[in-house]
Structure 1
Amino acid sequence: MKQTNGQHLISFFEEWAPRSLAVEGDSVGLQIGRLDKPVTKVLVTLDVNNEVVDEAIEKGCQLIIAHHPPIYNKLKNIRTDLPQGRLFEKLIKHEIAVYAAHTNLDIATGGVNDLLADALKLEKVSILEPTTAEKLMKLEVFTPKEATEAVRKAIGEAGAGKLGDYDSCSFTTPGEGRFKPNSEAKPYIGEANKLAVVEEDKIEVVFPATKKNRVLKALLNAHPYEEPAYNLMELDIEVNEKGLGRIGLLPNSVSLGDYANTVKSQLNVPFVRVVGTMEKPVQKVAILGGDGNKYIQIAKRAGADVLVTGDLYFHIAQDALAIDLAIIDPGHHIEQIMKKGVSDYMNAKCEEKKLDCIFIASQLSTEPFRII
């Protein structure tokens, strides 16, 4: 097993949930401490409070990954005579870094909202509110025939030619290349000041624009020519759509009352609040972890019979009734599902990379409400 540090681990995590996915203004990324130190244990938690920090200390963790950022608004001071300041002081004293993955983890494929949709056993799941998509780019590169396979393989490994469930997609056209190296050139083929005629292939591939630098670097490293000839263009095609919330179907229509009890069981919560007539049939379900008050109209337009979300305001509940959208509110704390989801994903990544590090799901509940 190989030793690793926090930066290395976070680079793998951000391949799954890059910070660029986060909604504008969200507080994500490293919030406390540093990532350039060795890490052997990471605690994954919904929130960072005093008890969670004590748990991290007890378990010997050097890093905490939290869904809810402990620093959400700009700080005016760090006073260690107040609870927040004491918390930060304890983290720094014990050299525990804190990294926040908030809306980027909500939006990521396989992230919080997909985990919730899986827990609710929804079928034919799609994005509720798209937030981002990537432009496709097209690369055309000309290579001598003997280098075609090596160049094609290199740019494919860098991410070019992946279309949906297919990878290594490309198109190759044979042709004839002509060029004359000048006296300063060191040509792979041909001689200085003489016209060279070479059998070449044109390779065509597409890839998401975010992979541009990686693909071009792979191309230049693999291509035998001093000055490879290539064309690069942006296409008016978007791929890899991402977004907040999910919407899907139940296998069969059920009453709202029965489904509310099912949600309570599936999400393992002590109670749910329900808006709507208990006899109302529901089958199309929207789910959004956290505060879903802004999403009732979006869920209605998407055809949802019911929206499962937390922190519903009184007047928003009345608005939902007015548009005949049922609501099931199991509380904000259902996002704790990310603790196991992130731990499982990152432990698998560490095993794959043979890294000497384990991710531990926090055993503490940070739910502030108690039912009497």
Structure 2
Amino acid sequence: MQSSTALRLIDRSPSITGSEIAGGLVPPPQFAHASFESYRPDADYPSQAGAIEHLKEFEGVWRAQRPGGFFSRNRKPKAALPGIYLDGGFGVGKTHLLASLWHAAPGPKYFGTFIEYTALVGALGYAETVALLRGTQLICIDEFELDDPGDTMLMTRLLGELMATGTRVAATSNTPPNSLGEGRFAASDFLREIQALSSNFMTVRIDGLDYRRRNVEGRATTVEDAALAHMVGTMAERGSAVSSDSFDELMAHLATVHPSKYIKMIRGIDVISLTGAHVLHNQTDALRLVAFIDRVYDAEIPIIASGTPLSEVFDDDMMGGGYRKKYQRAMSRLIALTTGELPPHD
């Protein structure tokens, strides 16, 4: 019988190279076949269907460049601007739409999170990153971060150089600190932070409810320690790769691993089990957990946990602060991951 503690995330401290990061700059597995046609807009929020039309116009510029392209016989599409920014709350399908655009675009093209692109620069150096990405048709940036001014301006400079040579850019929002309103504030702050590029971006607002809450209500599922141990043992006996860690040990370990490496830390894991989950009071720890859960969600790895429901580990100060929308997104994802209700698109 395989020991239930045979796999521990805290034993994994992966390294990652620039070439590995670059090779992984594609949509997450659940969006491997995303398309505008498979996106399901909410009829109560017309801006969702409207976003599809804006993105098709953006993609139409490439079609216009092909012989006999549809747009070649029409007016120059509004999406002639080299950048498009999808602004909206979590769970309205921004990532699905971004991946759909990526699939529709000609290559070479890249798709990654803000963290992955900054990690690429860290691994390769700025000049080599520019050289690698120069000539790219499309760069998709999911969850553009405004938390770190240095990283924000680094990405501003990088995108400016690439757009000047013909690369087009599509990005989704990630609410910055102290922006307590819905995504409208994210849009204005994004454009202010990238002053030199703002005139190159068309902002598309997407309203709506978190689709995960359409299917999953309530709180993250929690189990007693004895039941969790039995579940882990049973799954391990059946050949599943189940990790077993305490919540505190995992939180301490995440502080030693760069977020760009979290995806390698969970590679090959079928189920994550955590014991002793509790409310967090340190915002740095909480933001690391958010980044970790984003990667777990992308990898579609279920979680079983004991202690406080994982959707309730962010304290009241965090939920009332400038990062609250990040925590709300993580809560929504944790409900889905612990209940087995993993919807088809983000």
TM over 0.5: no
TM range (shorter): under 0.3
Greater RCO (Cα-Cα under 8 Å, separation 6 or more): 2
Q: TM-score, normalised by structure 2?
A: 0.27
Larger radius of gyration: 1
Structure having the larger proportion of residues in strand: 1
